Amino acid sequence: GVNNFVGHIGGDDFVLICQDVDADKLARKIAEKFDSQASSFYSPTDKARGCIHSRNRQGIESTFPFMTLSIAIVDSQRRKFNHYGKVVDVAVEIKRYLKSRKGVTGSVFLKDRRVE
C-alpha cells in the first residue's frame, strides 16, 4: 500500500511496516517471489546437490543450506506495545521459532496471534 515502509535493521534483518490487513498477503508474496528467484543464484552443481559447499568464516569446509526468508509478523492491533523494544522481542521470538523448525524447506512466515 501507499503507507508501507521498508527499512534495513542491520545484517540480514529488515523491517516492513504495513497495515494489518496487508501483512499476511505481503509476507506470502515476498516469500514466494524470493523462493522463485533465489535458485538463480546457485550453480547447477549446487542445485543438484541441494546445498552449497564452501568455507565458513573460520576457513573450515562446510555445507550451507540455500537462502530462505523467515518472516515474523508482529500485530500491534491485537497487542499494545509501550516500547519499540517489545515489538523487537516478539519478532526475534517468532524468527527464532521459524528457524528452529526441522524439515521445513523454503521461506516461511508466521503472524503472532497472541493477545496480552
Question: Which pLDDT value is given to residue 1?
Answer: 60
Q: Where are the beta strands (DSSP E) in the chain?
A: 5-10, 13-17, 52-55, 61-64, 70-73, 108-111
pLDDT confidence of residue 14: 85
pLDDT digits (tens), the chain, 116 positions: 667 888 888 878 888 888 777 888 989 999 999 999 998 999 999 999 999 999 999 999 999 999 999 999 998 887 888 898 998 899 999 999 998 998 888 999 999 988 77
d(CA 16, CA 38): 20
Q: What predicted TM-score, i.e. pTM, was given to this entire model?
A: 0.80
Amino acid at 49: R
